[in-house]
Structure 1
Amino acid sequence: MAEEVIGTVKEVLKGIIENVNAPKNESAPAEKKPSTPEGMAVAYSSLVVMAMLPIIFGSIRSVKLHKLKKSTGEKADTMTKKDAMYFPLIASAALFGLYLFFKIFQKVHINYLLTGYFFVLGVIALAHLLSPVINSLMPAAVPKVPFHILFTKGEGKHKEDIVNYKFSTHDIVCLVISSVIGVWYLLKKHWIANNLFGLAFAINGVEMLHLNNFVTGVILLSGLFFYDIFWVFGTNVMVTVAKSFEAPIKLVFPQDLIENGLNASNFAMLGLGDIVIPGIFIALLLRFDDSKKRKTRIYFYSTLIAYFLGLLATIFVMHVFKHAQPALLYLVPACMGTPLLVALIRGELKVLFAYEDHPEEKPEKKEKKEKDEGTSSSGSKKKESKKGK
């Protein structure tokens, strides 16, 4: 086992050196069935639309979630600057780990495990997405009966919730519909089922993964900019994993749909990371716009247009050079540069960099608060002791 791992690592390093030293014209693309210009236009137009939709809807839902958590006083899970710095390293380790697994073990067995895992996640993600739609479509004759599963450990002050889940009959309907789609994906691995799960993952990701401030977003995008370039241009690792990985982590659309209909097999693809990573940054800009109570969402719309143009640039360059392109190479400069340019023109650079979804308490204020709490608690103890006397 150890010898196989070492051999695979050597193979990757050799590939990096060969890619660096090889002339540009030596990179021959893998043979594919020829696609018609019409088929390619339909496929890539569909991918661009499918990439834009999760960012738009996910961003809107992220604003609603942000307001809900603020109103309830619930502490939000946000990505810190430290998390953003480590993310490209963790992603690289995970990617290379998957590459090693596919090289050492049989691809079929790995994909069985991954399919089962993503089946469960996909059903939950799709059910969460369908919930508001089903609630609005359900007739009044179907009652919305609430249920509450509560499983606790310990008693009194030591009581802890292990399972605390509230749901209704409408949520059960969502789960049934999502499970049917999940079974379809398990049995057929059909591209439509794959895309339904992929879109659900992308929308939920943009909605729930929150960057706390602009600087954190810049750190994350900058790190993943170099990550994407290295793993696509430097090695064949990312392309190999993307082609071997049978899970809804990418959106696909057939280029031969016109000729072969729903049974088409020559797919164009776009990874979910190229949607979710810029998407959470664009969602932050929508929350920033919303915090300023403006009628126009200038930062959100301008960056969304920049993302669209970045995707078009990726597709164009890929066809010119006949080589897979790291989408973040074009998306990151577009998505980072646009809000900075808008802020510079409007004279809002300081405001943009100062914005935080959840401002942290300054150390001085925190200490003062703790002292005040300590004083009030000691005062109440003295009063109690006097009453006792």
Structure 2
Amino acid sequence: MAEPVPAAVPNATDSNGTEVLNATAKFVATPEGTALAYGSLVVMALLPIFFGALRSVTCSKSKNSADAPETITSRDAARFPIIASCTLFGLYLFFKVSSDLSVLLALLPPRLIPCLSSSPAMARIFPESFPNKQYQLLFTQGSGESKEEIVNYEFDTKNLVCLVLSSVVGVWYLLKKHWIANNVFGLAFALNGVELLHLNNVSTGCILLGGLFIYDVFRVFGTNVMVTVAKSFEAPIKLVFPQDLLEKGLEASNFAMLGLGDIVIPGIFIALLLRFDVSLKKNSRTYFYSSFLAYIFGLGLTIFVMHTFKHAQPALLYLVPACVGFPVVVALCKGELTEMFRYEESSEEAEPKEESSEPEKKKDQ
């Protein structure tokens, strides 16, 4: 998240410690503009976490293998900070040689399709009488018994409409690099990430958040790799909002920003706690709401410290202790700490299979 740019300072630094070149260094953000920018970023961060968590519950119950979430195990969580470091360093080397991102940006429109096609808003747009035909794209290799399926993709008319809409946004972003188009893609990425990336248990979530907590702090204060990448990487990997919107309108260029990692990483942990709430079958969402409020507190604390000391802060430094600590305290007060850490989504999937096998045994007897 970028702090206000003083008149004599040509550069600002975002929440991940990245230096952001600012051509309008003489601009000093007004208190109103700063409050609007930070408030908008907080709201935009909360939307994909809240709705992504709700959709993750539906996604976990889906019987369609195509909609199955990607489960993060403890081994994956331990490896993630290392993979992130290698990826970041690879991007650093890439930008030392070239800054052409046309291939990467060409992949943006398809990422909006699942977000748009499954959203309740789009469901209301399409009337019940809408002729939604089914299609299948099949690509095979060989013939006869040796025929091998390479691509088998099923879609419908709604998906095609969503493809057109997302392509319009993609072309807009490629041509203008406008901050609104950037935020549309950023919100879509964050929503899909929270919905489709599932932690298998709370212990895995603690490992992931703990590792990225150390990674974020080290990359902010220990190296300049993230600085170089963030300066060069013009792609929707962050949400931005101009602090000079009141003065310059939609053409504003002095941005505050928040990285998508500061949304998705805590978001998938909050979504896990919502699914734990559902598994308790108590018709309450205590752990979800406590972690959601903890995220608001952590993000607000990040902004407060940054604004007070006039120095950028790594957001996960405050978000991780808040998002983990609040639910743990609630579980201790309710006497459910052991139950929370024993919760395994995979075990729930196995129970129906055991129950369904009993009638078969009786039939055999």
Same fold (TM over 0.5): yes
Q: Give the shorter-chain TM-score range.
A: 0.7 to 0.9
Alpha-carbon deviations, 1:193-238, whole Å to 9, x = none?
0000000000000000110001110000000000000000112322
Report % sequence identity.
Answer: 63
Aligned partner of 2:225 in structure 1 is: 237
Contact 1:114/1:246 (8 A) holds in 2: no
- 1:114-263 map, 5 Å: 114-116=104-106, 120=107, 122-131=108-117, 132=119, 133-153=121-141, 161-263=149-251
Contact 1:310/1:330 (8 A) holds in 2: yes
Alignment length (residue pairs)? 333
**C-alpha distance in structure 2 between counterparts of 1:78 and 1:160, whole Å:** 28
Correspondent of 1:33 among 23, 27, 30 = 27
User: Displacement, 1:32?
Assistant: 5.9
Aligned-partner SS, 2:226: helix
Contact 2:217/2:314 (8 A) holds in 1: yes
Does the C-alpha gap of structure 1 residues 266 and 160 become closer, same or farther in structure 2, counting only changes over 3 Å?
same
Alpha-carbon deviations, 1:295-314, whole Å to 9, x = none?
22000000000000100111
**C-alpha distance in structure 1 between counterparts of 2:131 and 2:104, whole Å:** 37
**C-alpha distance in structure 1 between counterparts of 2:206 and 2:187, whole Å:** 25
**C-alpha distance in structure 1 between counterparts of 2:43 and 2:112, whole Å:** 19
Alpha-carbon deviations, 1:88-119, whole Å to 9, x = none?
011011112212222x2243x3x334333xxx
Correspondent of 1:282 among 265, 270, 291 = 270
User: Displacement, 1:148?
Assistant: 1.6
Aligned partner of 2:73 in structure 1 is: 80
Work out whether 1:321 is the aligned partner of 2:309.
yes
Work out whether 1:358 is the aligned partner of 2:352.
no
User: Displacement, 1:151?
Assistant: 2.9
> If each structure's helix is expressed as a fraction of its own residues, which one has the higher value?
1
Output the amino acid matched with 1:36: T
Aligned partner of 1:66 in structure 2 is: 60
Gaps of 5+ in 1: 1-26, 370-389
Contact 1:55/1:206 (8 A) holds in 2: yes
Gaps of 5+ in 2: 1-18, 358-365
Output the amino acid matched with 1:54: P
Output the amino acid matched with 1:269: M
Contact 1:254/1:267 (8 A) holds in 2: yes
User: Displacement, 1:141?
Assistant: 4.6
Output the amino acid matched with 1:79: I
Aligned-partner SS, 2:256: strand
User: Displacement, 1:360?
Assistant: 9.2
**C-alpha distance in structure 1 between counterparts of 2:143 and 2:278, whole Å:** 43
Output the amino acid matched with 1:56: F
Q: Which moved more, 1:193-202 or 1:150-159?
A: 150-159
Contact 1:274/1:328 (8 A) holds in 2: yes
Aligned-partner SS, 2:194: helix
Work out whether 1:94 is the aligned partner of 2:87.
yes
Aligned partner of 1:349 in structure 2 is: 337
Contact 1:32/1:266 (8 A) holds in 2: no
Contact 1:184/1:190 (8 A) holds in 2: yes
Correspondent of 1:49 among 34, 43, 49 = 43
Structure (1 or 2) with the larger CA radius of gyration:
1
